[in-house]
Chain A
Amino acid sequence: MSIGNNILVKLNNVGFQQNQKWLVQGVSLQVEKGKIVTLIGPNGSGKSTTAKIALGLFKNIEGQVEKFTNNIGYVPQKISIDWTLPLRVRDFMLLTDNLTEDVIDEALSLTGVINLKDKSLGNLSGGEFQRVLLARAISKKPDLLVLDEPVQGVDFTGEIALYELIKEISEKLSCGILLISHDLHTVMSATDHVVCLNGHVCCSGSPKEVAKNSEYKALFGEQAAQTLSIYEHKHDHVHTNDGDIKKN
Chain B
Amino acid sequence: MFDDFFIRALVAGIGIAFVAGPLGCFVVWRRLSYFGDTLAHSALLGVTIAYSLEFNIAVSIFLISSAIALILIQLQKKTNLPSDALLGLLAHSSLAVGLVVIGFLTFIRFDIMGLLFGDILAVNKKDLVTIWVGGALILLVLRLIWKPLFASTVNYELAQAEGLNPDRAKAVFTVLLAAIIAISIKLVGVLLITGMLIIPTAMARNLSDNPKKMVIFSIIGGLLSVFIGLFSSLEFNTPSGPSIIAAALVLFIFSLLKVKQTIQLKN
Q: Which residues of A contact B (CB under 8 A)?
A: 52, 55-57, 70-74, 76, 79, 81-82, 84-88, 91-92, 95-97, 120, 140, 146
Q: In the complex, which residues of chain B have a beta carbon less than 8 angstroms from the beta carbon of A84?
A: 28-29, 31, 205
Contact residues, B158-217 vs A (CB, 8 A): 158-164, 205, 208-214
- B93 CB–A CB distance under 8 Å: no
Main secondary structure of the interface of B (DSSP, over half): helix
Given A52-B157, A74-B158, A76-B158, residue A86 in contact with residue B163 (CB < 8 A): no
Contacts of A70 in B (CB 8 A): 163
Q: How far is the CB of A121 from chain B (nearest CB, A)?
A: 9
Q: Which of B41-49, B132-140, B146-154, B249-257 contacts A (4 or more CB under 8 A)?
A: B146-154
Candidates A56, A81, A88, A146; contact of B154 at CB < 8 Å: A81
Known: A82-B29, A96-B147, A96-B151. A87 touches B162 (CB 8 A): no
Docked CA distance A9–B24 (Å): 39
Chain B residues near A82 (CB-CB < 8 A): 29
Chain B residue at minimal CB-CB distance from A85:
B29
A-B contact pairs, 30 of them (CB 8 A): A52-B161, A55-B157, A56-B160, A57-B161, A70-B163, A71-B163, A72-B162, A72-B163, A73-B162, A74-B162, A76-B155, A76-B158, A79-B155, A84-B29, A84-B31, A85-B29, A85-B154, A85-B211, A86-B209, A86-B213, A86-B214, A87-B154, A88-B210, A91-B212, A95-B158, A95-B159, A96-B147, A96-B151, A96-B163, A97-B162
Tell me whether B161 and A146 are in contact (CB under 8 A): yes
Which residues of B are found within 8 Å of A76, using beta-carbon distances?
155, 157-158, 161
The A interface, classified by DSSP as helix, strand, loop or mixed, is: loop
Q: Name B164's contact: one of A86, A91, A96 (CB within 8 Å).
A: A96
Q: How far is the CB of B226 from chain A (nearest CB, A)?
A: 24
Which of A74, A92, A120 makes the CB contact (< 8 A) with B161? A74
Which residues of B does A touch, CB under 8 Å?
28-29, 31, 147, 150-151, 153-155, 157-164, 205, 208-214
Which residue from chain B places its CB closest to the CB of A123 in the assembled complex?
Answer: B266
Is B29 a contact of A72 with CB atoms below 8 Å?
Answer: no
Q: Contacts A86-B208, A92-B154, A96-B147 given: A72-B161 contact, CB under 8 Å?
A: yes
* Most chain B CB within a 10 A radius of its CB, from A72, A86, A87: A86
Taking a contact as CB atoms closer than 8 A, the residue among B31, B158, B205 that contacts A86 in the complex is: B205
Least Cβ–Cβ distance between A17 and chain B, in angstroms: 19
Given contacts A56-B161, A74-B157, A88-B210, 13 further A-B contacts (CB under 8 A): A55-B161, A71-B163, A74-B161, A74-B162, A84-B31, A84-B205, A85-B153, A86-B208, A86-B211, A91-B212, A95-B150, A95-B155, A96-B164
Contacting residues, chain B, for A95 (C-beta < 8 A)? 150-151, 154-155, 158-159
Assembled-state Cα–Cα distance A87/B25 (Å): 13
A88's contact among B153, B155, B162, B209, by CB below 8 Å, is which?
A: B209
Provide the residues of chain A in CB contact with B210, threshold 8 Å. Answer: 86-88, 91
> Which 6 residue pairs across A and B have the least CB separation, nearest first?
A74-B161, A55-B161, A96-B162, A70-B163, A85-B29, A95-B151
